[in-house]
Structure 1
Amino acid sequence: MDLSIGVVGHGTHRQPLNGIILTIDIHKFILSSKQQRETYIATLNQRLTDIVNTRQNRVPLYLIFTKLDLFYGFESIYQSLSKEERDTILGVTFTLNDEQSWEAELARFWQNWIQRINSAMPDMMLNNVDSHQRSSLFTFSRQMVGMEEFAKNLIESLLFNIDKNSLLLRGLYLTSSTQKGQMDDLFVKSAAAQYQLSRQPYPTWQTAQTVPYFTRNLFSQVLFSEPNLAGENEHYTRLARRRMTIFGSGAALLTLCLIGSWQYYYIQNYRAGEDVLKQAKAFMEIEQSTGKDLYGNLQLPLLNPLSEAMFAYGNYHDRNRFIADFGLYQGYNIGPNIEKTYLRLLQEKYLPAIMDGLFTELNAAPKESEQKLGILRIIRMIEDESGRNNALVLSYMQNRWSNEFKGQRALQDQLYDHLGYAMDHVQWYQSRQNGNAGALEAFSPYKTPIKEAQKELSKLSIYQRVYQNLRIKASDVLPNDLNLKTQIGSSFDTIFVANNEKLLNIPKFLTHSGLLNYFLKQNDHLIELTSMDSWVLNITQNVEYSDADRAEIKRQISELYVSDYVSTWHGAVANLSIKQFSDIPEAISALENVIGGEQPLKKALIALQENTQGMNPPTEKELATATVSAKDRLMINRIHREFTKETSVLDETNNQESAIQNATQKLGDLHRYLLAIQNSPSPGKAALKAVQLRLNNNGSDPIFEVQQLAKTLPEPLGRWLNELATQVWDVVVREAIQSLEVEWNEKVVSEYKLNLAGRYPFSKESMKDVPLSEFDRFFKPGGTVDSFYQENLKVFVENNLLQGADNQSLIRSDVLNQLKNIEKIRRTFFNPQNGLGIQYAIEPVEMSGNKRRSVLNLDGQLLEYSHGRGNKVRMIWPNTMRDNVESRITLMSSASLTQRGISRSGIWAQLRLLDAGQLSNITENTFDVRYTVDGGYMVYRVYVDSADNPFAGGLFSQFRLSETLY
């Protein structure tokens, strides 16, 4: 039943049913028991309820009682009917839309029908039936009277609990479609059942032919004549009503929108027309600028009104002239006329102003530089649309405007918009080709400078230009550069120093990742760059390349790339040097990093290996999916071969240790060597002993072994090991020298300050003399200074250890100078037998006329002189060891016998007296000394050995001893 209900009305959502024809076997219904009838009626009621609830529309119900022929007397009463009479309708059609009238109408029909039967019965008994059929006529009439009550009860039960607005009872009809040749008398059966009598048998007969009674016209005149009587589906009705409301509202809204839009576009076009007139008037009143315009900003007063007027209607290039603005669009009538003037100003005013600024930058750019090519590239794209790249031009000019007009966003936007329109629509080159006088005149100032720039920039091959440009573009596309310091890690600063910080950054373009993921994928881009720069430099106008041309371009640029790649990594590795250690603990810390987990030397080499690794030929399985061509693989392996030696130290062959592992072991020995010095009770003395042992044994220590190993290793590891050993030796030597400082102060400096400093001859103004014994003990061979030098400093001086690895002196330069000065004093004041003394000769040269005689007494050595020839006399110092010895010069006057002179006393009296005179005529081995006494003068000439001159200036006066040695 559910299935049948679902199928009923399928596809007819609006009116799923035209009606329900309910046929009931009235004979069987009446003969059924009361319980059976109630069950039957309940079933029918449920089915009708399901149909009504499922279809949700008002359905006509046609009730048809069939099997009328089974009632006793049917054959007798209707046997004489003609065909037309049999086709008539036997039943009642209830009044439409009057749910309460069916009972009255049913009763009236039944009454009229029974009345007609009864009225016709007398005639039928006399004329139409046999004598044995007469009783059946009466019986049939009585049965039909009894049927009325069943019919009424049936209808009431069927309509119970069903909404009257959902089910329309349309009529009740009686039919007999076929005859079975049998019948029953309801009254007899009922009475027999009531009194428990046996059933009366009724005759049956064979029917050869059956005919329908009251059926044909029922279908044509009633059932099929009311197809639209059924109501519409309520859900459909609600949905249709809602749709109608929506569609109606939408139509109304659309109508309002159409009217509003039409009005809006009408007003917009009207206002745009007014704006065009306003801008045109403003344009006519503008005076052209006469100033120098390098950025195009001085042309804005002319261009802005035209642009606003042209776009008052919007860009007509993007509009359909027939449907735009509901057909009201006027841009096609106004825009083209304004655009002609606008494009002419762009071509003859705006673009030349921009070109002037670009040529200013072009002339200021370095000759033959990439910067100059970049500017020329923009210039060519502006003046020739055949190779124009709008995005490149706009981006360059946007940066230029941004730098010039900072904070003026509106001005920059205006300049950008005008240039963008010019790049899209101005065809400057084509206008010149067509002989446009304005275009030719505007371009004439730039024709020669462009050719000169092209000639200059063509000196560098186009392949080098393209490669430079490719490298610049790669820096914008690829991630940050590879930093060797970052790759090595935190231990970098403990061991390495970069000679040039910039070389620590390797462009990503020149790494293995950049090679595989960028450069090798630039084949088409290389052709594009070559084509563009060839066009810029006017090398060729043909931008189509054959396969051979493409291969040559790739080969040339690949050669440049390989050369740049190799030189960059060689330079990066050569840029790393071992840092200078300030002391032994710092050197120990650095070695601990090298031989420990950090291993900065190994990491540096691994970074080099990773970025110069080769590529094996693909296997048969890999061949189908290989992304690197054979030629590209050859280039990769070519780079790898350039660094095979450098990275070979990482290779382990035949289960043998790699060179880097062997070097690490040697550095471990060096680390223990330094620890032994550092952990000794006196690191300075231990370092001094280590220096002496190494120099005396000619090597054979961990430093020497590392240096020897470094000679057998390739760059850069060999250089790093040698530098590391040198730096370690440097700190050991420095530590040794530092330890001597205490002894230097105790033995040398303290004695100098106590006995020599501040006394004559070290201080000429001092009245105190340095005792000869102290002078002798301090300066003599084997004395204080000489002993310290021989025992401690000689090993450094003779083995050229006075400078560290940084070429800075390990011993103070003033200390070294004073040691040389001490050696000169020793050589001058001590004879080969180590005795203290000097020799020199003195000769009278001249005496003033007012003096008649002079006497020079030098420690008891006399030299007399009267006017005439003087004699050269040899003198010695000291001539006596007495402390109170005197040296004096005496002059005697010619007019009287008075004597005047100059005298000095003490062990240093000779030198003091010579210092008291005025020196002149100084040569390498002679000098004159003049004494002025009592209005006269006397001049002597002193002869000395030029190599050992005890009177040399600064020999004592500039003598100082520093308290520090380093």
Structure 2
Amino acid sequence: MFRKIFDFLFNRFTLVLLGLVLLSLVIWFIGPLIYIKPYQPLESPQVRGWLIFAIFAFWFLKLMVQWWRAKQMNARLLTQLARFGTSDRPAEKAGPGEEEVAELETRFKEAIGVLSKTRFGQTEQGWFGRLNRRYIYQLPWYLIIGSPGSGKTTALVNSGLDFPLEAQFGKASIRGVGGTRNCDWWFTDQAVLLDTAGRYTTQESDETQDKAAWGGFLSLLRRFRGRQPVNGVIVTLSVQELLSSTDAERDRLARLIGMRLGELCEELAIKFPVYVLVTKTDLLAGFNEFFGNMNREERSQVWGFTSPYNEGGVQEEPAARFRAEFDELAGQINRLLPQRLLSEPDLARRGLIYGLPQQFVGLRDVVQETLSVIFASSRFKEKPLFRGVYFTSGTQEGMPFDRVLSALSRRFAVPSPAGASVGAGKTGKSYFIETLLKGVMFNEAGLTGRNAKKERQLRIAQAGGLLALVLALVGVTLGWAISHDNNVAYIGEVKDRVPALKQAVNDARDADPEDMVSLLPLLNNAESLAISQRYEGDSAPLSWRQGLLQVPKVQTAADATYMRLLEDAWLPRLSRHLRRSLQQTSTSNPEASFEALKVYLMLYEPERFNAKAIRAWMVNDWETSLPPGLVQSGVVNQLAHHLDNLMEDRALVAPVPMDQQLVAEVRQRLAQMSPAQRAYSRVKQLLLTGNSLPPEFTVVRASGPEAPQVFSRRSGRPLTQGISGLFTYDGYYGAFAQELPKVTALLSQEESWVLGKADGRRSTANEVLTGQLALEVKRLYLMEYAKLWEDFLADVRPVRIASLDQAGEQARLYSAANSSLEQFIRAVAKETTLGQRPSAGSGTSSWLGEKINRIKEEQEQLSQLTGKQVNVAGLTSSGTLEADLVDFRFREYRRLATSNGSGPSPMTASLQVLNEAAAVIASARQQVSGGGSVPPSLSATLERVRTEAKRVPPPLNVMYEDLAGATSAFVGRDVRAAVGGNLNATIGAFCRRAILGRYPFTRSASRDVTTDDFARLFSVGGTMDEFFRTTLQPMVDISTNPWSFKQGVDGSPVGGSAALASFQRAAVIRDVYFRAGGKAPSIRLDIKPLEMDAAITQMVLDVDGEVLRYQHGPQIPKSVNWPGARGTGQVRLQLTGAGSENTGMVTEGPWALHRFFDRAQILPGNAPERFIAAFNVEGRRLRFEVTTGSVLNPFRLKAMEEFECPGNL
């Protein structure tokens, strides 16, 4: 009993458990005292509890992993044993032994099943005994090797060990589960003994097969017991083979055993103890007689020696150690000999007893030689641990060896006796085995070393686990510290906001009691009071948690404060705001008054409270009453958010008393309101705020993905915004018609508490039953329907065309098959044709089909409820109202989209005009970009587009007009650019070099324009004349003064007037200087002297060889040509006085005549072609009358004075 208590208290499991309990007590009671400035990580009971739980959980997890691993390894081992027991057994032919083989296999499988559930070890019963029991894998394993017939199995059978399978499978089962020709597996309650086949050691029968089987056996050990494959090796040497074999045979056997030990050392990579058993010692003559009278306890003792264990020291050679110990064993027998001789009365047996010491001594040399060969040092990489030599006898069979008598017989030629043992027989006793196994070998199971590689891997794994544990501990501690800091900082952050919040509450008391917006900062701050700026998202990060998170607690308190502010400060303002809105509702808008009154009453009648209705009305009121700047800044969203929080999961009751007088006034005013208006307002409100509407009609949805390339909005709204689904074909028949009967049927109930009287309810009910109310509501709806669609279509416009290329591309997009434009028009035609009523399965959308069926069901239910047939709007009417209010207004869209008979629709024909325009525009673009002229067909084509624009509705008309106008403008622009570039290249550059800064274009210039350059520019067929005739003349209207470009198709000029004025002046210069069509400039003049000073006796004017003389005689004109026939380029004026003194002047150059008249004072003559030239030459005066060949004076030619070289148009 005390032994059990002692074992229980000092069991490893109990000690670990007690240690963990003590550690838990330390953590719980001492932990709060741990202070790591400025932290107390174990102050919280929750933290301590989690830490203790984690420690026990880790320990339990470790136990479970160990248990699971042992169980798994045990299962894998037993699976492998099953293979050894079945698959490795060679197939036997059918015969007499077939039934026995089958029975053995059946018993083998049954044994495997028992082993899979069997735990070995202690014999105690109950829970404590189960804790100390182990699987096969966990027991120490011993490997037995030796030659065939060396007595391995016999020694084990008679060892006195406990075999658990014996109780269930009989005595035969103690040979092990692997009872095959390969290996016997002996399972005891203390160890597993692996009795290998003798052929594994000698490898004589089939060397290749035996060697492979031996290697597979070692691999099995290494795989299933990697750290410590075996706990020891038992080498068996039988007396029979030691004494009967020759020296060569013994040497060979010793070498084979040594080789097997070497292979074990190398393959298993461990240092294991080796126990040498000399078996069958009963074959020594006199053995049975000497030891036969021993009891069981005496027979179980050890007969042999165990070498001292020197851990880490140098071991003595086994052979040398054996000789000294053997002599001691022999001496012990000699000391027992006298007593045995005296106690034996039989003289024959006494003789055998007397001879046993000599027989035993005869083993010394052969055993020593065998050990020296087996444990030769060169055979092992790491020498095994030799533990000792032991002499055993498993059973007493066979003929004993008498080496003494045999030696005498050989020496004296005397025949040896046939039997050397008196009374030898099958005694069945075992000698010197049980204590050897249990007391020596099994107790030294821990001497075996471990696989260095496996141990290294295990140490690495353990170090990694320990490091992970340390890191986890450090991480948890650090997490607590960080979490503590974060939560302290968070509390401080919230605390810092409280004074400002209190001040805001005090300030709110002085604010306008009806102003809800002024409380927004206070409410926003209160709502976000517990929201930290130190992290993002709704949930605190992991670094804030670790059991220390304070956010939920603070958030709960902050939410309570926020709700008190909503109830005590904001709700009264909401009530007052509703009252003021009710006061301000216009008498011209009774439906607004009705809705305002309904919402106001909801705050005082909890049974009528409707949070959804209140929110919808308040949001609409805020959006219309607040300044646009506040609405755009998101104030309405904030107000709606706080309202939602205030009304969440409860009905509000206003704390401010109801204004009964105001309610009565509004009710009196509403008595004059049309029920149809109220019903329509209710229907629209329900549908617009609900989720039962079809998709919104947008340009993108109607026209496809290419819509942004075709359409835009005048208002700037995106193409993804359009008309609410309520005002679409599906919305009319699927949503509006569905809600209308509900609202009209329930309107009387609503009026009963909103208007506060029952007569209105009865009158409305009558209208519902007759259908008149539904008809009036539908009229209001259809009027708004048409208005919205007209505004929407007027807002849709084409994208702006920015180039001629884009104009062609737009025309192609407009006219393409199934284009976005065509899809849009067809969609508009469908949505604006309400007179054609749908029916389920008639090709309508699936959404509308479902709605139609639901409407009919509700119509039947309403008729049953009222007892009369109720007509639902649109489904039972004649369609006249829809046709009058909607269809007629949009008939042009329906005309375009509807084909007559088998021919194409008008829309197709209209788009064909654009298709032709696209081809002509593409041709014009190519010609203009190549420097060519505008195709003649362009103007006519664009005119047809404009004509077609007058026959189509918006936005088609605008698109057609823009296309025609933009094309004309960009063609003109491109033509101007092309002409301008050509003009500058052919005329502009040369013109500037030829005349810029030269006379006569610059009067003060000393350099003259050469006549050749002048003629090249201005002559008939010159560069300017030629360019004008071939390029500009088709575009210029010369009937105007100044010349102007002809207007384009769109009414805009093709180019500017500056360059065109240069060509007009060039034409004047041409007409003046090249009248005869010559290639050189020329002037014909008639010069007539009019008067001359009396002091001048004679005047001679020589104009390039043509001479005019005048001596105060008749005034005869002289015709001169410039340049003259002589070609000197000189004009000379010579005046002769009374004293024969001469004066005059001379001009030279191609423009000498012009320079001559530049020195005169030009006075107008009596005709446009005449002028007076008055000269003053050194005080002498004379005057000429000059008549030119044109009314344009070449010497004062304005076109030449203002001429500028043309540049870009």
Confirm or deny a common fold (TM above 0.5).
no
TM-score range, shorter chain: 0.3 to 0.5
TM-score after normalising by structure 1: 0.44
TM-score after normalising by structure 2: 0.37
Higher relative contact order (CA 8 A, sep 6+): 1
